[in-house]
Structures are given as structure tokens and as C-alpha cells.
Structure 1
Amino acid sequence: MLALRGGRVLTADGWSCDDLLIDGGTVVAPGRGEADHVLDVTGAVVAPGMVDLHVHAAGGHSAQGPRSDLDGMARCLAAAGTTSFLATASAAPLEELRDLLGGGRPSAGARCVGVHLEGPWLSPDAAGAQPPGALRSPSVDEALSLLSAGDDLRCVTLAPELPGALDVVSALVARGVRVSLGHSTTSYEDAVAALAAGARGVTHCFNAMSQLSGRDPGLVGAALSWPDLVVEVIADGVHVHPAAVLALHAARGPEGVALVSDCVDGCAPADALVRDGDVLRLPDGRLAGSALALVDAVRNVVSWGVPLADALAMSSTTPAAALGLDV
């Protein structure tokens, strides 16, 4: 038995100053007890490991393409405090996505709990940095083909306004796949129809989607108002203004917001993306993703006014619950 002693321990009931007891790699409970080893963590915060629902790469290692290296990616994520992640793929030919879904998982480092397909059923009018030639119309047959490639498909981002999208939502949800809405010019009404069909997420809220206005709430309006939803946000201070992150937190609470990195650092040759701090851009200046570590997203939102306990939940227990995981 190992005891972490002296730290501030975040529990489901709030902060505790008790020991955190760990037996065989499993957290037993906060409290005092007999321990074979005691680790002094005085002054530290002890919190669940972080869970990234949306990460394409880390430390120059990618989930997809010529730099594909899930083992390297898992090691780099673990070194920065992310203990579980969805290996995220951009839109690509169907066979490439099938190969990724059947490609196995890393043996060490952060736990890869499955694959998040960000495409190919996205709107060409909200493609962002997605390859336009790889975008496709939603198809139940294609969805079933991807599911048959292996057991790794855990999440799919799609645009709900595309013809056939609701049928794909229903097919995926019926088979236990989480559906998230994004890269979309959808009306509020079409977004709500997809949520009513079982979609339970919004991908990188505020980015590459229909915005909120008084008469047309769009996908952002659905993200702010629909119950039982976990909404991603990239908290680097560039993709989304800090005030918008605070508004999202105020509307949904920590149980409804998941901090994500959307890290693409390693997805493309060095001359294909331009690094600008924690942001990566296409040569024309458009945002392509981040070079953010999830722990830095936590630091950012705390500096903007989100309580530390909420920020830690938004990077750990909330995304874990969205996938049905324990942390």
C-alpha cells in the first residue's frame, strides 16, 4: 500500500487533506491507514489523471499519417499528466481510417481508450484545416464498415445538417459510439434533431461551427442550452476568447465542459504548419489546431477565473464520464 501524504486531494466531495491510499495501482480512498510506503507530497495538488477526448498528436508523434506513432504519443501525453486519451484522426480515405481502427493500442504510457474520428462527414463550408478532398456525405454503410474494422471506435464528429447524418447518428449510438457535432453550419433545429437522436457532444465549441445570434442560435446555442451534453473547448486563449470559455463554464458547469488539447504538433511536415506559441496555423494564417498540453489548458482557465476544482474536473472526471470511464 502506498500513501500520498501532505497534499490537497481532490475528491468527489471536494478537497481533502487526508492521505491518498493506493493499492496495486488502484486508488483505494482518501484517509489514514497502514501503508508500506509513504510519499510526501506536501504543497502539491493530488487530482485524477487527465483525459483528452481530442488529441491528434503529442511531442511530434501522431495518431495518423506518416508520423504515426501511438507508443511515442502515449509516452509524451503521460509525461504531461494525461493518463487516458482518444487517438484522434482527421478526415481521410475510408481505408486509411479502417487501418487506424484496426491498428492496435500502445503498450505503455497514457492509456489509449479508443479512436475519435473527426470526419469524414463534415461540412465543406466549415472544414477548417480538414482536407476538403477527404470530406464525404454521411453513409450508414460506411459507418458500419468502419465499425467492422475493430473495436476501437469510441467517438465520431459529424455535421448534423448533411443529408443522411441523422441515420448515421442513430446507427453509431445504437452500437455504443459517442457522436459529437462539429465542423458544421447547422441550424439550431438540425443540431437539436441530432441531439434528440442521441448525439452527446459538441467538438471544439465556437470553432468551425454556426455561431450564436439572437434569432439563429446555431450550434453554439445548442451547446450552451441542451441538457445532458459534454462540450469540448480549446482553452489556449486564441482558439476561443477567455470570456467565451467563462460563459460556457457558467452555462454548463464543470460537468458539461471538457477541456481538450486538439494538439496537432507532429501531424504534418514542419513547413506545412506555422507554430505561434501554443497554436499551429496553416501558411495562410488559419488555425489548424494547438500545440497545447492539457495541463496548460487547466492552468489557463484557472488564471481566467475558473475554480481549480472545476478546471480539474473539466480535464478528468467530466471527459471520463462522457466515455463511461472511471478515473
Structure 2
Amino acid sequence: MSRTLKGRILTSTGWVGGSLRFDSRLLSIEADASASSSASAELPIILPGFIDLHVHGGLGVDIMEGGDAAQQVARAHARHGTTAMLGTTMTAPDGDIRHALAGLASACAERASGAARLLGVHLEGPFLSPGKLGAQPGQVCAATMALLREYMAIAPIKVVTIAPEVARHLDIITELAQLGVRPQVGHTLGSYEDGVAALRAGAAGFTHLFNAMRGLNHYEPGMVGAALAHARHAELIPDLLHVHPGAIRAALRAIPELYCVTDATAATDMPDGNYPLGSQMVCKCLGGVRLADGGLAGSALTMDQALRNLLSLGLDLADASNRLSRNPARYLGLADRGQIAVGQWADLVVLDSEMQVSEVFIEGEAISPAFEPDAVPA
């Protein structure tokens, strides 16, 4: 049975005041003159569902726990308007990675009720630089296609974070790209030249731009300089802790299809305290998530708060929405998500005038939203 929503709708061709009819997919969009008038300011805002390509956890659960952890995390983020996501691993011993991938495979095969769609896996580690671990544990190793093919046989890997300066990693980047996987440059001590070489080899983007990579200097542009000068895509964490607003604005001007991620951890939607991040514990405090030495360790960000943060930087609503929906969908090559158009999956976020989530629909299923940023369900 179909449903109808009325409001100000951000469609693939622009704003439309009117009605949206859908079941599991979008069936029709009907303009309404009354909804386009000045009186429409009080109507709900209807956006495409958010697509988060970097999620480690939520509501006290870490994806590396395996089993049904990924489904629990997907439910937690669905309440904030995330309708599709990539479950993201941590650097860990081989057996732990395989365990997490097995749980993710099950979650990807069938969407649980109330959960965001698991599109696949973002393998963040272990193919990183030991000198730029960030919050990643130290069990890094050089990549081989043999090992990657074994991982890919367990679960659908869509994105791989890789340090390009490590021996033979440029060849790995090329082979991954040829397989349709998105290699991303991240957790790297590489230079500007290494970044340019990675892009030429087939790297598709950059993992949490600015973080865990060499910064921009006018004598040595670094990996950040390579991204700003040459990249079409990169992910960025807009929690206003990981990246200064000025740097966010620079990246928005430089990278045409920059998209935003949460890098959310188990601390998301939880009170201050200690939570797992892979094999280690991190502390949620002072609005962020940190290691014992005070360094940032992922985030407690949700995609609806990311939207509000982007608006606070001066982006208009359509642009901010595109950074959370359309651009990540394009990055993964998804033709049926990320926009509101007839035939797309009915992945929708309904906002009130204060930009708070009032309704969420995932493939047509109504999801109970989180009305308070730190609310914990009973």
C-alpha cells in the first residue's frame, strides 16, 4: 500500500512544493501551488535519506564485535536519518577482521526491520602507514591481492583505505579499481607526489580528509595538497572537531563532489564514558571521542547533526543535503539511491523547521526517529 507525504521536497531537479507518493520506491511527485506559496514555510522538509560511508558503531555497539553488531549499529543510525551505510572495520589481527566481515556479510544480505541498508564494507585497515595510525591499533601490514580476495569472498567490500607510499600499494590500488572497489588514500605519511601517483593509479578518494595524513604546506603540499589540487571525491568528518570550519570551506571549494561521513563509534548516542573501538577503549567526553592521550578517535556524530553543522557554516540546504546523500551515492555508483526521483528507493528524511528529524523512511518502511541527540532507547 502506498503512502503520501506533503511538504517542500528536494527532488533530483530542485525544490518542489507538493506531494510525494511511494511504497518501497518513489511512485510520483506532484507539485501543488499552495505548497509553493509563502505559506509553505511551515511545511515539512523532505530530503533524500543520508548515506554514510564510514561508520564504526553506535549505541554502545562496535562493528568489530561481529555477529548482529552491524544490524544494531544500522538501527542506531537509521533513527538519525541514515538510510544506507557502509559498515567500517578497524585494523586488527586477521582473525578479528574475518569475524567482523562474517557479521557484516549477513547484515548486507538482508536488511533488518528498522535498520539502515548495509551497502557493504569499508575496510579501514590494516593496509595503513604505521606512522599515521590515528586511533587505529598497530597491527598494520602491507596489502596483497591474495588477502584482499579472501576478504572480498567473505563480505562485499566497497571501499578500502590504503596508504599509497607502502611498497606495491600502487599496484594494489590499480587492481582494486579494476574490480570496482573504491581505493581511498588514508592513514598515510605519503607526500603530495604519492597522492598524485595514487590518483593516477586509480585511487577514488581520500579517507577523512585532513586527518591522519600530511597537511598542506606551501613548500611541501602534502597529501592534503594532492587532494585539494586534484581530487574529485573525498570524505570529510564535519563534527567541527576533526576539521576547522575554514579548512572545511577550503575543501568544499576545491573538491567538486566532497561528501561527509560520521566516522561514528560505539559512543554515538551514548552518555559520556568509555566505549570499545575495535580492540581498544576510547572515551566520550567534551563533545568528542578520544584516546587516553587526548587524540581524537572517531566521533559521536550523526548525519542529522552533520547536516545542521554544514548549515551553520553557511551552506544552503540543497548543497548540504547533496554532501550527505547524492554525492556519496554517486561515489559508490548507486543509480537508485541518494536522490528523490520516481523509481528510486523510498529513502527519505523529513525535517521540521528547526532541522530536527521528524520522520524517516527506509525503502518505504517508517522508522522511529531519535528526537534528542543523546537519547538512549529504553
TM, length-normalised to structure 2: 0.78
| 1:315 corresponds to 2:321 | no
**Contact 2:128-2:162 at 8 Å conserved across structures:** yes
| CA gap 1:14/1:32 in 2 versus in 1, 3 angstroms | closer
Give the distance between the partners of 2:148 and 2:29, measured in 1 at CA: 44
| 1:225 corresponds to 2:229 | yes
Q: Which residue of 2 aligns with 1:124?
A: 130
Q: Which residue of 1 aligns with 2:145?
A: 140
Give the distance between the partners of 1:308 and 1:247, measured in 2 at CA: 19
Equivalent residue letter for 1:14: G
CA displacement at 1:140 relative to structure 2: 2.3
The ranges of structure 1 where at least 4 consecutive aligned residues each deviate by more than 3 angstroms after the TM superposition are none
Give the distance between the partners of 1:3 and 1:165, measured in 2 at CA: 50
Give the distance between the partners of 1:149 and 1:164, measured in 2 at CA: 24
Q: Identify the match of residue 314 of structure 2 among 289, 298, 305.
A: 305
Q: Identify the match of residue 213 of structure 1 among 214, 217, 223.
A: 217
Give the distance between the partners of 1:289 and 1:67, measured in 2 at CA: 22
Give the distance between the partners of 2:95 and 2:284, measured in 1 at CA: 30
Aligned pairs for 1:11-90 within 5 A = 11-22=11-22, 24-32=23-31, 43-65=43-65, 69-90=69-90
**Contact 1:138-1:163 at 8 Å conserved across structures:** no
Identity %: 39
With 94-103 and 242-251 compared, the bigger mean Cα shift is at: 94-103
CA displacement at 1:101 relative to structure 2: 2.5
| CA gap 1:177/1:122 in 2 versus in 1, 3 angstroms | same
CA displacement at 1:3 relative to structure 2: 2.2
CA displacement at 1:28 relative to structure 2: 2.6
Q: Identify the match of residue 276 of structure 1 among 285, 289, 307.
A: 285
CA displacement at 1:71 relative to structure 2: 1.9
Secondary structure in 2 aligned to 1:124? coil
TM, length-normalised to structure 1: 0.90
Aligned pairs for 1:116-195 within 5 A = 116-132=122-138, 134-150=139-155, 152-195=156-199
**Contact 2:67-2:102 at 8 Å conserved across structures:** no
Aligned pairs for 1:194-209 within 5 A = 194-209=198-213
| CA gap 1:252/1:124 in 2 versus in 1, 3 angstroms | same
**Contact 2:67-2:100 at 8 Å conserved across structures:** no
Q: CA RMSD in A?
A: 2.1
**Contact 2:161-2:207 at 8 Å conserved across structures:** yes
- Give the number of aligned pairs: 313
**Contact 1:4-1:41 at 8 Å conserved across structures:** no
Structure 1 residues 69-109: Cα deviation after superposition (integer angstroms, max 9, x where no partner): 12211111111100000000011122322233333115231
- Which structure 1 residue ranges, 5 or more long, are not aligned? 34-39
Give the distance between the partners of 2:94 and 2:249, measured in 1 at CA: 38
| CA gap 1:13/1:259 in 2 versus in 1, 3 angstroms | same
CA displacement at 1:278 relative to structure 2: 3.7
| CA gap 1:145/1:66 in 2 versus in 1, 3 angstroms | closer
Secondary structure in 1 aligned to 2:142? coil
| CA gap 1:32/1:17 in 2 versus in 1, 3 angstroms | closer
